[in-house]
Amino acid sequence: MAHSHSADGAAAPSDLTRHRRALRILIVMLIPLGIWTVAGLVMLWPGDISEHVNTDVAGYAVAGVTYPKARITEVKPSSCEGLAGSTPGVTDTRCANVTAELLEGDDQGKLVTVPLTAAVYASGVEAGQKIQLVRVPPAEGQPAQYNFSDFVRGVPLLVIGLIFAAVVVLVARWRGFAAVIGLAFAGFILIKFMFPALVAGSDPILVGLVGSSVIMFVVLYAAHGFSARTTTALVGTLFGLIVSALIGFFATRWAHLTGVAAEDDYVLAAAAPDLRLTSVVICGIIFAGLGVLNDVTITQASAVWELADSGGSQKHLFSRAMRIGRDHIASTVYTIAFATAGASLSVLLLIVIYERPMFSVLQTEQFAGEVLRTLVASIGLVLAVPLTTAIGVAVVRASNYGVRGTARNPRPVSIPASATSIDSDQTSARQPALALRRRRQRRTEDDFGDFSHLRDPSETQQ
């Protein structure tokens, strides 16, 4: 009778070769992408944009106009007749006059009365609530004028934001914490880089691609670790962004989207004369599918690396991974469409109000922009799946990851039964330690955390 034993300790020379190959592939992928992203960020960083903003076109920036907070002390229902923002001839709606105490500003402590439209009053206005007013400074002996601006929503936003962060961290733990930090970083790039760069008149495609690439570099590696599968997902995500940017550019030109769909767009065009409103459309298309694109590519990359354990040819691995990708595509396309519909529901309701043929309504600027944004983002998402899969298969096979079992378990050596001297109890005692070692190896085998296993065998022996 014979027994078979296999080495389970140090990595074999073939293992070292495979890891070196994978490392070279990843460096080839990372260095050009990183250089391009950093260079673009430096060249396009907007700096001071005050000279690109016309502060005299809107009340938001007029000198002397302030927005003090106030607390409602009394609410009196009133007629809407003649009130700005009310529908003429409609008498069955109720508006209100509210008295509020100013909590800040030059007139702090003063009581002022402002009117509320029917829509604002119907939302539920009660004494004790905080509101924000618009104060127009006095002119030619006239007292300062106050009007209702909005409700103060700082506390609800802060509380719900903290609940969101707490839930993410409690469920996903450290990865959830990294994801929240990545989300905050994305907001920083949007506010400090992308928005000012567009206002300054920079190229929208470059701004969208560079800003999105910076966000993805930080978000992906922070949440998923510095590994081969994360790098594969990053490359697939960047490909999807490039496809979305190119298609979005040509679709915007072809459909003659001007970027002017509402009154605020006219204000934006006048306040930022160097901003091309078509830039807003193109950047919106690039950024619309970024989150879902990230989700699809990281899932697809992970699927490739997990399926590689079972071996098989490249074609077989690609087809198996694509079966998973097709299921994911089917669900995420719905996600983009439903998210867009929910975000623009008030605009979509106009289809019913206009009482015109649906296809005719969809051709207007308001609806055509939303439809094209959804379709272009979905096209980039779908095309990113096969590319991410192909990149993953190429990296896996180049590093021979899928045949790991044959490398770490050399050909069995037949040993006569009489030469076996290991007691069965001692072997059982070693099993937990060996299992723990294998789990650690599986967890870190495609990470850059430890380079010691990349040394040549001769250096290890020394």
pLDDT tops 70 at residue 105: yes
The residue from 388, 403, 418 where one domain ends is 403
Question: Which of 77-81, 153-157, 443-447 is the most confident on average?
Answer: 153-157
pLDDT in tens, 208-230: 899 999 998 888 888 887 777 78
Summarize the confidence of residues 165-188 as an average pLDDT: 91
Same domain, 332 and 254: yes
Same domain, 296 and 213: yes
Which residues partner with 4 through β-bridges? 414
Same domain, 220 and 358: yes
Same domain, 97 and 150: yes
Coil, helix or strand at residue 330:
helix
Same domain, 267 and 379: yes
The residue from 403, 424, 446 where one domain ends is 403
Residue 57 inside a domain? The answer is no
Q: What CA–CA distance (Å, rounded) separates 127 from 367? A: 40
Same domain, 145 and 180: no
Same domain, 135 and 205: no
Same domain, 79 and 25: no
Please give the pLDDT value at position 132.
92
Same domain, 71 and 146: yes
Summarize the confidence of residues 339-344 as an average pLDDT: 77
Same domain, 286 and 395: yes
Count of the separate structural domains present in the chain: 2
pTM score: 0.72
Residue 355 inside a domain? The answer is yes
pLDDT tops 60 at residue 7: no
Please give the pLDDT value at position 85.
59
Same domain, 215 and 356: yes
Please give the pLDDT value at position 255.
86
Residue 5 inside a domain? The answer is no
Q: What CA–CA distance (Å, rounded) separates 109 from 107? A: 6
pLDDT tops 50 at residue 13: no
Question: Quick one: pLDDT band at residue 310, thresholds 50, 70, 90?
Answer: low
Q: In which residue are the tokens 């030619």 written?
A: 140
pLDDT in tens, 259-271: 877 777 777 878 8
Residue 458 inside a domain? The answer is no
Please give the pLDDT value at position 457.
43
- Closest to 207 in 3D by CA, of 37, 32, 53: 37
Taking each helix axis as running N to C, give the angle between helix 204-224 and helix 277-288, from 0 to 180 degrees, rounded to the nearest 10.
20
Q: What CA–CA distance (Å, rounded) separates 331 from 209? A: 25
Residue 425 inside a domain? The answer is no
| CA 186 from centroid of its chain's CA atoms | 7
Please give the pLDDT value at position 164.
94
Residue 452 inside a domain? The answer is no
pLDDT tops 50 at residue 254: yes
The residue from 154, 181, 210 where one domain ends is 154
Residue 336 inside a domain? The answer is yes
**Mean pLDDT computed over every residue of the chain:** 76
Q: What CA–CA distance (Å, rounded) separates 147 from 21? A: 68
CA angle 444, 448, 451 (to 5 degrees): 95
Residue 225 inside a domain? The answer is yes
Same domain, 236 and 114: no
Q: Are the C-beta atoms of residues 110 and 102 closer than 8 Å to each other?
A: yes
- State the residue range of the domain holding 241: 14-44+167-403
CATH label of the domain that carries residue 150? 2.40.50
